[in-house]
Structure 1
Amino acid sequence: MSADNQAVSFVHGGNVHAWARERGSELAGVLDYSANINPLGLADSIREAVTKSVSQVIHYPDVQAVMLKAAISSYYQVDSEYITAGNGAVELLYVLTHTLRPKKVLIPAPAFSEYERAARAAGAGIEYAYLSPENNFAVDVSTLCSRLNGVDMVFIGNPNNPTGTLLTASQLEHLLAAASQAGIIVVVDESFMDFIPGAWEYTCRPLLKQYDNLVILHSLTKFYAIPGLRLGFALTQPALAARLHAAKDPWNVNSLAQAAGVAALADKHYQDKSRAVIHAEKNILFASLKALPGINPYLPSVNYILINIGQTGHSAARLCQTMAERNILIRDCSNYPGLSPYYIRVAVRLNEQNKILLQHLEQVLR
């Protein structure tokens, strides 16, 4: 189904500044479940690296981001010439679409809205492949392969946001092979991959040298809790990486973000603790949400949970407003193509915070 003539609303979670302005409040007063950020917060190693680097802001950042790329290369086992550093992964979405200028893109829906927004900004038309709630929003690779005719680019969130669905690399390779024969670019967004223990089964990084139509996007802001710094990267074969580098602002990644990335990727203690805590807490939160009246959560793979609240008597907009009045922000997912006005998303936070969320949800729903 084409989306070319549909009105589109691009809204994101995590807008704590708007919440504070509306209430004349400080940010410390809000519990933000609308943005999927690591609840452990800023690692001491990153804080120290940023603090030490402040004096370097009198100089331009390293255009080649050599130390950052070396850290990415070592941690993710990818050669440096495959890496394009970005001011967040979203910046590279726009650089990619403006560089390649696809005429039509295919997006399984619901999905992260910036895929569509970046494609439209480059003049592309949109085709949705709607995912079924009855099938837990699972992505059917065979269906996507059958929809490739007339498409120049495909976007896949893996894990997908907001549904949390996850494909293995072997499943995605079927799509890559079919798309490669037709000269179609496949963009796999792995921005939440760091949250998954044993992610090697799911990441497409081992396929980079085999498929020149593969682009992997990766955010470092979510797992390392630095969304205000903006940091991400793209992985592509070197020829396309060179084109992307030439198409972007040469100083797109500032000195503090580069230092933060180097420190983050070296902090194994923070990485291991984050995965262990979030893996445990997402299971506890999922089970607790299922016990609430009218709540139908979808099994999470990472640090967020999509919820159908259609049986509660509340719309997503109404519930979000009621919870915001209690200083708790949750994500209204009604603007996602493919979702009704009865879907919300909540992040996975620490146990004591999750108990507060559950207490208020129960009060509102009962």
Structure 2
Amino acid sequence: MKIIDGGVTAAEGFQAAGLAAGIKKGNTKDMALVYSEKPCVAAGTFTTNVVKAAPVKWDQHIVYEAPTAQAIVCNSGVANACTGEEGYGYCKETAKIAAEVLQIPEDSVLVASTGVIGKQLPMDLLGAGVKNLVPLLSHTREAGKLAAQSIMTTDTVSKEVAVTMEIGGKTVTLGGMCKGSGMIHPNMCTMLGFLTTDVAISKELLQKALSTVVKDTYNMVSVDGDTSTNDTVLLLANGAAGNAEITEEKEDYQTFLDALLYVNTCLAKKIAGDGEGATALFEVKVVGAESKEQAVTLSKSIITSNLTKAAIFGHDANWGRILCAMGYSGAQFDPEKVDLYFESKAGKLQIIKDGVATDYSEEEATKILSEKEVTAIADVKMGEATATAWGCDLTYDYVKINADYRS
């Protein structure tokens, strides 16, 4: 696998565009279009929130029932959530407009929205936006960047990644973009993400691959404990690479799965690091667990602890908060066997050994915790299982951003 500079336009046969349609205040980019020159097999994972936005319901219908997909229309500024039948009708209308302009089937158009809950989409602006996006479609790197910028809400940076790999003697490319900064919490998938690949693969295995990697990527991210109504990840594969179609879980499938895991891990970490108001990416590794389930439970409990997140913001090695979060997680372990380390570019320091504080330097700990990426490693000494979760610190700005989000 090779990491390359790219996003949703990196794979063969994919184009993208982004623009300001006027949905958001000011001349801010707020609409994106991703298009494949060939029909694709599609996979998707969606929010577990009982309150599902209209685009989620539309996309579930397309992914689960339609034979192919070929385009994704995404708007920022209005979430089209809690909008009833009218909101769902707007999804259908958006798909119809895009289908007519692109000359593709209506049921091959996926839609996505992000922004304020409860507002109806301004369909005059959205419809015009779709029509204006199509002539701008391009396979260039710049087009991919514009699309990634156009799906942002409170994100401070756009989020993209791409890789290539060898499958069946052919070079296969996988790229993606996502948005996510607030209302981020595990269980699928706390963001909008769009992935494109030119690999030839069966629809069944494409879905299995995506569902598999989500467990160790987006489901291990938390910013604020709130799971969105719009969480969606879509993966399109158009087969343009020309490899023999992957229909079995053999070497070629594993190669693709490894690449997909890498891409989604990168995107998940970008979301956590760009959490609303955040100054640091906070990574938690639980090692020495007796089972994967135990490791996941412990790492998630630490990453979602507001007291721990506040300590990371203050560069304070308040390890008691971490041990406390582990203790109320529901997972069973012996606190008198736990070792805890803090690590960053500034170094690595053991904070507790067998549940008791070491004679560590507070000054050195603060130095380590002052970096933009900080890792806590908890060893429970019970087995070989591990899990990694990602979050961010909790700052004053998080409250400021969310106090006036609508106004």
Structure number having the greater strand percentage = 2
- Which structure has the greater CA radius of gyration? 2
Higher relative contact order (CA 8 A, sep 6+): 1
Whether TM exceeds 0.5 here: the answer is: no
Which one has a larger percent helix, Structure 1 or Structure 2?
A: 1
TM-score range for the pair, normalised by the shorter chain length: under 0.3
| TM-score scaled by length of structure 2 | 0.24
